[in-house]
Amino acid sequence: MNKGNALSVTELRTKYRPLAYREPHVYPRIFYDTMAAHMLTFFFVRDHKRDYRFFSSEPPKPPDLKRSKVKEGWEFAKKKLMLLPQKTLRQELAFARALKLKDPVVKILYSGFSDEKRINFWFHVFLQKHRTKRLFILIGEAIILPFTALTVPLPGPNVTFYALALLIITHWQSFRGVHALLKKKRDFEAAPLLAEWEDAVKAHAEDRYPDILARLEREYALVNLRKVLWK
């Protein structure tokens, strides 16, 4: 890749985002979906406890759902989903967003402290672990779901059903995203700011955390990164 001609994430957003907002009627939806997929950046980095976290540059939002006659129930479920811890939510959504990727190679930013062969191995182990975990979660949720019918006599929409159903959809998309990532070739690219973050974590230099996280948010247009990598 010719880094001299490459645009940063911030430059890409500045160049293309205004067009999407000012002229929404000019291009079909597939144009924006394709553009968003190309702008999507994935990260594989250790948090303050030195556990690996996987997340994307796209801000968290609930899965897209078809319009329903029982809109009130789904809207309530979406609000509940967004209350999940950011560390969990961002990772689930990042896995799910991998389903949008058309390129057989996925680029992932990391600290660069390990060579590409070693980080690729750890990422593969990470994916296998989370695929197994999500499978058991889905089985458990499928067993519980029929029992939510017991709340039907209560007035209003069956919010318990909708909240659990949305969790199942999110976990199912996440499970499929993990499977997709396992089949793709990974291109790991070292990012100096991520190296600076992991170096501070290793040194337990908490006084450096806020500044590094703020610079990461500016560089990659991230939001609430503190809640993902710190607290």
Percent of the chain predicted with pLDDT > 90: 52
What are the residue ranges spanned by the domains of the chain? Answer: 40-229
pLDDT at 64: 61
pLDDT band at 214 (very low <50, low <70, confident <90, very high): very high
pLDDT, tens digit, 9 for 90 and up, residues 7-53: 554 554 444 443 333 333 333 433 334 434 446 899 999 999 999 99
pLDDT, tens digit, 9 for 90 and up, residues 121-173: 999 999 999 999 999 999 999 998 888 777 655 555 667 788 888 889 999 99
Percent of the chain predicted with pLDDT > 70: 71
Q: Are 143 and 137 in contact (CB under 8 A)?
A: no
pLDDT at 159: 72
What is the average pLDDT across 227-231? 92
User: Which residue shows structure tokens 């996280």?
Assistant: 213
Q: Are 170 and 91 in contact (CB under 8 A)?
A: no
Query: Beta strands 42-46 and 105-110: pairing type?
Result: parallel
